[in-house]
Structure 1
Amino acid sequence: MYHAARALLFAAALGTAAPAAYGAAAAPEHMQSGMRAALKRAIADSKGFENRFDAEVWLVDMSHRLAPLVPDLQRRLNLLRDVHSAATEAGLSPQLVLALIQVESNFKRFALSPAGAEGLMQIMPFWRHEIGEPDDNLFNRATNLRYGCAILAYYLTLEDGNLTRALARYNGSLGQLWYPLRVENALRENWRVR
């Protein structure tokens, strides 16, 4: 049943005919002009997915969820593709990374905290000297995601897989629960794959 639902979702999202066993599916109302072409480009450039079908289903599902925060379709698909790639490369759940981004910057690429943290995942500039290059642009989407995912993966290793402690370290609030709870709530309410 799960695969049938995924096939219908995928067929509807792309506006293609569903397999005969499932009947015809109409394109959903949220299908934006040009979505098919944009989605095909995003899928072609996607890394980290097991296969094309998984890429298509995940990108359509997450794009629909992210639309209220990132209205531009191409920007949204590019962001999702890069989140999935960076998270997968670091051994993280892409949905966890989406939840963290929501809490850190609410998907504002040029977010700057009062403490000086930059970009989507709110990376402190000192990390450039620790894991990157001094002139790395932390407002660059791919760079910011690569840094943030590497940092969170490091903290997960340091904390023997304890996500609560790793998230608290990421935020600089080790020993407190408010930040991990915010990320876990965002994950549960907005990004959990059902």
Structure 2
Amino acid sequence: MRRAALALVIGAALALPCRLAFAGAQAEEQLSASVRAGLSASLSDQAAPEPTFPSVAAKTAWLSDRAALLAKRMPEIEDRVTFLKTVYYEATRAGLDPELVLGLIQTESNFRKYAVSSVGARGYMQVMPFWVQSIGRPTDNLFHLRTNLRYGCSILRHYLDMERGNLFLALGRYNGSRGQAAYPNLVLASWSQWRSMPAGYQVAMK
């Protein structure tokens, strides 16, 4: 019963009418050497490598449950599975909980690949275009799935490191609203919904 109710809650959130993307204005600043190195590495337009799960059963459960909830946003099952595998791979690569990244994407773009905010932030994770200039990769396409998630996850990791693990402040930096409660609370609420799904495997955030 609890699982069905939770699916309705998340499903209702995903079914909300499209709106302008939420993103504020991430501030352009000096990236740490590790983040810069990770973003400077060549990103292929090909799919991300297969993410590592503790078991085949855990992988199947995590992907199938979440793919079902994304059906209205991504009608093709292959698109949903590719998206979720890329989220899982890029999130864990950056030391983030994949459910946190799903919650952020839900808040930022409501899973719209080509979302553009009023200040020009782009894609699923609403990455500001100045980042591609900052790392010397001006031809990177921020609407490309893996590129957008690599940037978004790396930037959030950077903010978490800056804030010494304080997720509330890091999320505020991501949105350009550090210290204000509205945006972090939205992401944390979405994260809680995705994490509360009883099936699948949850990854602890580093």
Alignment equivalent of 1:90, drawn from 86, 91, 94: 94
Give a deviation string over 1:45-78, Cα, whole Å, max 9, x none. 5223233222112111211222233222111111
Normalised TM-score (structure 2): 0.69
Which piece of structure 1 moves more, 95-104 or 59-68? Answer: 59-68
Inter-CA distance 109–130: structure 2 relative to 1 (3 Å threshold): same
State the percentage of identical aligned residues. 47
Cα RMSD between the aligned structures? Answer: 1.4
Alignment equivalent of 2:192, drawn from 176, 182, 188: 188
* 1:30 alignment counterpart: none
User: Is this contact kept in 2: 1:48–1:88, CA < 8 A?
Assistant: no
Higher relative contact order (CA 8 A, sep 6+): 2
The alignment of Structure 1 onto Structure 2 pairs a total of residues equal to: 150
Inter-CA distance 130–108: structure 2 relative to 1 (3 Å threshold): same
State the AA in 1 paired with 2:85: R
Q: Following the alignment from structure 1 to structure 2, what is the Cα–Cα distance between the partners of residues 104 and 48?
A: 26
Q: Following the alignment from structure 1 to structure 2, what is the Cα–Cα distance between the partners of residues 150 and 69?
A: 25
Q: Following the alignment from structure 1 to structure 2, what is the Cα–Cα distance between the partners of residues 193 and 132?
A: 40
User: Is this contact kept in 2: 1:121–1:145, CA < 8 A?
Assistant: yes
TM superposition shift of 1:191: 4.5
State the AA in 2 paired with 1:186: S
* 2:81 alignment counterpart: 77
* 1:122 alignment counterpart: 126
User: Is 1:63 aligned to residue 67 of structure 2?
Assistant: yes
Alignment equivalent of 2:104, drawn from 100, 106, 110: 100
- The structure with the largest alpha-carbon Rg is 1
Which piece of structure 1 moves more, 60-69 or 141-150? Answer: 60-69
User: Is 1:154 aligned to residue 164 of structure 2?
Assistant: no
User: Is this contact kept in 2: 1:96–1:187, CA < 8 A?
Assistant: yes
Alignment equivalent of 1:47, drawn from 51, 56, 60: 51
SS at match of 1:118: coil
State the AA in 2 paired with 1:60: S
Give a deviation string over 1:81-137, Cα, whole Å, max 9, x none. 100000010000000000000011011001111100010000000111224611100
Give a deviation string over 1:26-47, Cα, whole Å, max 9, x none. xxxxxxxxxxxxxxxxxxx522
Poorly superposed stretches of 4+, deviation over 6 Å: none
